[in-house]
Structure 1
């Protein structure tokens, strides 16, 4: 999600060359697929940096191994990336990090991307493969980017993201959480589908307003969990970024 926000923010300043830094804040409202868990609202600082090779995109950082030529009609890029991964829902708070590669092909047709990620913290040994497509519509100061995608998660990652271990349940009981999730492991691979839209409006030459939404449709093998009572997750965000 952070990558989509940065891409659209950067696009809004391309005529004079995108600024190197963006800082601001984003409010995030998200639903949980887990039964009895409440929807959440959180506010986060937002920071992005666009260097010649190195870049930061919110919770993601990376290095351009290959960059497209500036005057090319279509360009191929290859990036090494590292990103934070947070567990869905609010009952199993945990943050880990992934490392991987992302290949993108961009042109007048939009942007096609393929990403491979692997757990870098040895927490889950999980792996994820993702493919996506996005297209940016521009109108004066408004930039709107709808996107669609699919993600494949191996069994280790599926168990980590959507399952609950006995140890996790014990911690919920110990901390007297309002929701105690049942112990369950999907023990299967998963294929999830996503769709979203990001909008950036230029309030001035250096200030952008950002709005985005994203929906993830969960694999049926995830939804058999007794802890999950929804087919999807929804995320909505609104923020402001200052570019310099």
Structure 2
């Protein structure tokens, strides 16, 4: 039973660490390594809350970047210093099914557009499956704002995502084959068959707090919750209205 979904959910807040990679002399650090301690609460019935240690790796170059399980290329060169920054990135990102009973790993590719400035960060992202596993797509919008002190960053965020029927069923449904495999494998959790009739709209909220120990070491705490669409919650296998990950971590930049 893999833990990749938990890892993917947890790595999202570490993107915020890139905001503090700049040294006092203005030279940006390109690499960051770290470790996370995660707690994941699954919305699926019978699946236990999981606690897991996870490694982290990131790289940020002039155009190319790697942040956890997402890689991308900046079509617009990132601007140094304050001011309004327009964002246009080609991205590829691993996608994991929620819970632990239907382990699947697929790859999405797409485009992220947005703008960042004193008002915060507003982005719109379109993704499509490129593995042929489900051929689904997702459109999402996210907003975040960072409060900064001398040695800390606090970033609340909100988001909304639309998943078409193919992706919604891949993420939140249970196929007859998956149900049969759970029985054949003697799994402790056997989820009933369920398929959504249409698309799903989920809402997200998160909070990331970063404390700068020094110019290389950062401590981070975060939480990320997804409130599920009513048609997703109609799945008899889902007993919670939300998917939740919280954790603590440390990152070293160089």
TM-score range, shorter chain: over 0.9
Matched, 1:12 2:43: no
Which SS does the other structure have where 1:62 is aligned? strand
Q: Gaps (5+ residues) in structure 1? A: none
Q: How does 1:103-114 map to 2 (within 5 A)?
A: 103-114=113-124
Aligned equivalents of 1:64, 1:205: Cα separation in 2: 26
Report the equivalent of 1:55.
Answer: 65
CA contact (8 A) 2:44 2:237 kept: yes
User: 1:203–1:72: structure 2 CA closer, same or farther, 3 Å change rule?
Assistant: closer
Query: Out of 202, 218, 225, which is 1:215 matched to?
Result: 225
CA contact (8 A) 2:36 2:55 kept: yes
Aligned equivalents of 2:44, 2:81: Cα separation in 1: 48
Report the equivalent of 2:197.
Answer: 187
Could you tell me how far 1:62 is from its partner in structure 2? 0.6
Aligned equivalents of 1:10, 1:223: Cα separation in 2: 35
Aligned equivalents of 2:197, 2:205: Cα separation in 1: 26
What are the superposed Cα offsets for residues 146-172 of structure 1, whole Å, 9 maximum, x if unpaired? 000000000000111111111111111
User: 1:141–1:71: structure 2 CA closer, same or farther, 3 Å change rule?
Assistant: closer
In the alignment of these two chains, the number of paired residues is: 243
Report the equivalent of 1:232.
Answer: 242
CA contact (8 A) 2:62 2:77 kept: no
Q: Gaps (5+ residues) in structure 2? A: 1-8
Report the TM-score, using the length of structure 1 for normalisation: 0.96
Report the equivalent of 1:64.
Answer: 74
What are the superposed Cα offsets for residues 57-115 of structure 1, whole Å, 9 maximum, x if unpaired? 00100101113433562110100111111110111111111101111200000000000
Matched, 1:176 2:224: no
Q: How does 1:1-244 map to 2 (within 5 A)?
A: 2-6=11-15, 8-14=16-22, 15=24, 16-70=26-80, 73-244=83-254
What are the superposed Cα offsets for residues 129-183 of structure 1, whole Å, 9 maximum, x if unpaired? 0101001111111111100000000000011111111111111112211110001
Which SS does the other structure have where 1:66 is aligned? coil
User: 1:115–1:239: structure 2 CA closer, same or farther, 3 Å change rule?
Assistant: same
- 4+ residue runs of structure 1 moved beyond 6 angstroms? none
User: 1:217–1:87: structure 2 CA closer, same or farther, 3 Å change rule?
Assistant: same
What are the superposed Cα offsets for residues 6-47 of structure 1, whole Å, 9 maximum, x if unpaired? 2x2122233523310001111221111111211112222100
